[in-house]
Amino acid sequence: MDIEIRPCASAEEVRQALTPIRHYFGLSTPPTEGQAERLTRVLPAERVYAAWEGGRAVGGLGAFSFHLTVPGGRVPAAGITVAGVLPTHRRRGVLRAMMRGLLDACRLQGEPVAYLWATEDTIYGRFGFGLASFTAEIDLPRERSAFRTPFAAAGRVRLVALDAAEECLATIYHRAAAATPGMFARSSAWWQARILTDPEWRRGTDGDLQCAVLENEGRPSAYALYRMNWAFERGLQTGSVAVIEAVADSPEATAAIWRYLLDIDWMARVRAWRLPLDHPLLLLLAEPRRLGFSLRDGVWVRLLDVKTALSARWYHALGSVVIEVIDEFCPWNAGCWRVGSGGIDRTDEAPGLRCDVSALGSVYLGGFSWTQLARALRVQEVSPGATAHADAIFHTEGAPWCPEIF
């Protein structure tokens, strides 16, 4: 039977398109109408592509509409999500066909960049996505959480009900996101449907979602969303604080909100996921090895329109470099591009570097350098010195960070 690839036309079709990804979570039924309605507040039906066979969805793929922070600016971006194909239809080109239709539509509506979190890190390279960041996890015993130097937090922390939290959290997040490549702007609908909702399936063995806000002279400067897993064994605390998201607008506020989290009574450990690679805790703590700091891949980036995407970010005023881009999935990007602070343009000049488009995705947010890619044989240096020159042009401060999986 033929498989038809097309965007969804209704919330009911979105429900069906989500069935393939739910299969891998052990769920055999579509989401409820309420779950689908909450999702379509931030993911309209036409932004979800599905593979249909005999009126049944056998694959699904969607794209949120984001404004992504890049070094020196922001760019419209597609946040790829809910990618899934039923195991009965694997290796038949279903994902490729959905990706073709969705990425073409994203480009046509003015999104020159796509990015995602990969459930499997071998899937998306063939579509031109490159690993663009690392993310970190910590598991810290509270009794080993002392800071290296004495710290007295300015301001006060107060607990805020989730239904009253959006205004002050959004203000803090906006300031942090505007300065952090990898973060994206959040709408009010996103806060309500994705961040400040607390369905039971998200809790696992942990408690309710808690919200703490740090204020200094009445001005919100940091917040933490967290859960507590309360437990005792033979009279000793064995529970933990699970930090969902902690965001601040200054180094002092970062230290203060983490000091609050590390000092919550009755908890034995503090755990957190999706932290930036250069998190300040590594240097704040007296015993940083106690963090159990471990890494995994973060977001993956794909440039759908090389000229527009590269033009959206900042470069050092150190001349330019010519990069030959190989792009089989989006061939309009292929060719030589002169990149620098003077602009991004096609050129007939000989290239200094040659790479697959996925390498551009890896350097785009500043998570990796051209030298790192060259050492991994991901970039060919055609002209001696071009790698170091490209590093100087693309140089950024700080690691990219996306605090949530979408």
User: The whole model's pTM is what?
Assistant: 0.95
d(CA 304, CA 291): 38
Indicate if 406 belongs to the active site.
Answer: yes
pLDDT for residue 378 is more than 90? yes
Work out the mean pLDDT of the chain and round it to a whole number. Answer: 96
Report the C-alpha dihedral over residues 272, 36, 183, 278, rounded to 10 degrees: 20
Indicate if 329 belongs to the active site.
Answer: no
- The CA distances from residue 136 to 157, 279, 293, 361, in Å, are 25, 9, 6, 20
Q: What is the pLDDT of residues 213-260, one digit of tens each?
A: 999 999 999 999 999 998 888 888 889 999 999 999 999 999 999 999
H-only helix segments in 220-305: 251-262, 281-284
Domains identified in the chain and CATH numbers: 4-111 (3.40.630.30), 135-296 (3.40.630.30), 305-394 (3.30.1050.10)
d(CA 167, CA 77): 24
User: Given 49, 66, 124, 173, which residue is catalytic?
Assistant: 124
Residue 353: Cβ within 10 Å count: 24
- Span 283-289, average pLDDT: 98
- The CA distances from residue 138 to 45, 79, 108, 250, 277, in Å, are 37, 26, 41, 21, 11
Task: Fill in the amino acid letter for 196.
Answer: L
pLDDT for residue 209 is more than 90? yes
Q: What is the pLDDT of residues 345-373, one digit of tens each?
A: 999 999 999 999 999 999 999 999 999 99
d(CA 110, CA 87): 33
Q: What is the pLDDT of residues 93-133, one digit of tens each?
A: 999 999 999 999 999 999 999 999 999 999 999 999 999 99
- The CA distances from residue 92 to 2, 3, 38, 51, in Å, are 11, 10, 32, 11
d(CA 374, CA 387): 8
Q: What is the pLDDT of residues 10-32, one digit of tens each?
A: 999 999 999 999 999 899 888 98
Task: Fill in the amino acid letter for 35.
Answer: Q
Given a contact cutoff of 8 angstroms between Cβ atoms, the answer to whether 101 and 60 are in contact is no
Q: What is the pLDDT of residues 151-163, one digit of tens each?
A: 998 899 999 999 9
